[in-house]
């Protein structure tokens, strides 16, 4: 059987995963996918993701691909793989792609959504999917500050010091920030994101909403390229990889 390049679209609840990428003696999304595919096909594969998510970060839409010689019909893949995956990962689409397709390098845009639960008391049913923040926030200031992130910038100040990526220039196409009841949503679309970038942006906007940082400081913080000048890193459980777009979407 010739080599086939299978593209999967999937969702997962990151609560009990130690991130996407395989790590020794840890439960990971990539690890569970590779075990499931090997169980189906009898051969080991390397699953490539559109990007890595951290421990406790979720995905509404993650995209992966892998090379296989399996003859399983493409229409059968979602049900087949779901039958051997744990219940906190669901594959909902499979497509055969040209052998050159790469789920990471071919990405054109990604969207992340972050959710804050803004109330005195935590919602026990939302604690794994939101950042419980009990203090009042100035939404107008946060919305105005969010506009400074639009466009092309060097996001060194808004990335983890642990990141070893040299090119830290990214473009933000859309940034929407709104409130529904007790939940505050941050939705960001860009051509790529650095390690912890969305969580640091959210943490910084929260500090602006608490008047700990002035919104006018954002351009200066971007220009200085110094992580120490930006705000805190928001906790992981409020973050969802919301969408991944390719040129054929």
Helical segments of the chain, H only: 29-41, 77-82, 139-146, 197-209, 218-224
Question: Which residues are 109's β-sheet partners?
Answer: 245
Whether residue 198 contacts residue 123, with contact meaning beta carbons closer than 8 Å, is answered with no
Instruction: Report how far residue 141's alpha carbon sits from residue 216's, in angstroms, rounded to the nearest whole number.
Output: 10
Q: How many angstroms separate the CA atoms of 180 and 185, rounded?
A: 8
- Assess whether 13 carries a catalytic annotation: no
Closest of 247, 249, 236 to residue 20, by C-alpha: 236
Looking at 13, 54, 88, 106, which residue is catalytic?
Answer: 54
Label the pairing between strands 183-190 and 169-180: antiparallel
**Cβ atoms of residues 89 and 10 within 8 Å:** yes
Residue 120 in tokens: 């005195």
- Tell me how far apart the alpha carbons of residues 132 and 115 are, in angstroms, rounded to a whole number: 9
Active site residues: 54
């Amino acid at each position: 059987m010739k080599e086939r390049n299978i593209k999967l679209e999937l969702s997962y609840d990151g609560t009990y995963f130690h991130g996407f990428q395989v790590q020794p003696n840890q439960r990971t999304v990539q690890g569970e996918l590779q075990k499931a595919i090997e169980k189906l096909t009898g051969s080991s594969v390397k699953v490539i993701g559109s990007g890595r998510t951290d421990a406790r970060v979720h995905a509404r839409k993650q995209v992966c691909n892998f090379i296989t010689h399996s003859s399983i019909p493409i229409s059968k893949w979602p049900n087949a793989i779901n039958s051997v995956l744990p219940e906190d990962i669901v594959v909902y689409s499979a497509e055969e792609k040209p052998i050159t397709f790469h789920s990471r390098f071919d990405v054109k845009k990604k969207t992340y959504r972050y959710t804050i639960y803004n109330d005195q008391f935590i919602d026990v049913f939302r604690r794994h999917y939101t950042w419980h923040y009990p203090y009042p926030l100035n939404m107008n200031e946060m919305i105005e500050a969010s506009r400074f992130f639009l466009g092309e910038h060097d996001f060194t100040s808004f990335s983890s010091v642990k990141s070893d990526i040299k090119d830290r220039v990214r473009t933000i196409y859309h940034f929407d920030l709104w409130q529904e009841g007790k939940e505050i949503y941050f939705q960001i679309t860009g051509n790529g994101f650095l390690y912890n970038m969305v969580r640091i942006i959210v943490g910084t906007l929260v500090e602006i909403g608490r008047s700990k940082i002035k919104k006018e400081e954002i351009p200066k913080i971007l220009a200085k390229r110094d992580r120490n000048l930006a705000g805190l890193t928001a906790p992981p459980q409020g973050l969802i990889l919301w969408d991944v777009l390719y040129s054929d979407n």
